[in-house]
Amino acid sequence: MPFTADEIRWGLTCGRDSDGRWRGWIIVRVQASALSRLGLHPDQPSATVTGPTPPGWWHAAAERNPHQQFGIRF
């Protein structure tokens, strides 16, 4: 993973919207220093990735084990 467990936070909120339908909102926050390692920083008008793309197995493993990446147990 490009981020360690202490560099990324996420949250989920669920509730009824103004029309009464159930909705879910996800918030993902990543520390600026972690984004800077990837070549992203707030002073750029547009960002480009400076490193190679992770291999295919990395993406597959992240999708198979989304909860194990950060030591979360359900």
pLDDT tens column, 42-52? 676 665 677 78
For 14, the domain range is 1-44
Residue 62 lies in a domain: no
| Minimum mean pLDDT range among 1-5, 38-42, 47-51, 58-62 | 47-51
Q: How many domains does the chain contain in total?
A: 1
Measure the CA–CA gap between 34 and 36, rounded to whole angstroms.
Answer: 5
Which has more confidence, 63 or 1? 63
Backbone angles phi, psi at 11, to 5 degrees: -145, 155
Residue 32 lies in a domain: yes
CA distances to 19, 56, 74 from 25, in Å: 16, 29, 20
Mean pLDDT of 1-28: 88
Residue 16 lies in a domain: yes
Residue 72 lies in a domain: no
For residue 14 the two structure tokens come to 């669920």
Residue 7 lies in a domain: yes
Rg (CA), the chain: 16
Residue 71 lies in a domain: no
Pairing of strands 22-30, 8-16: antiparallel
Residue 27 lies in a domain: yes
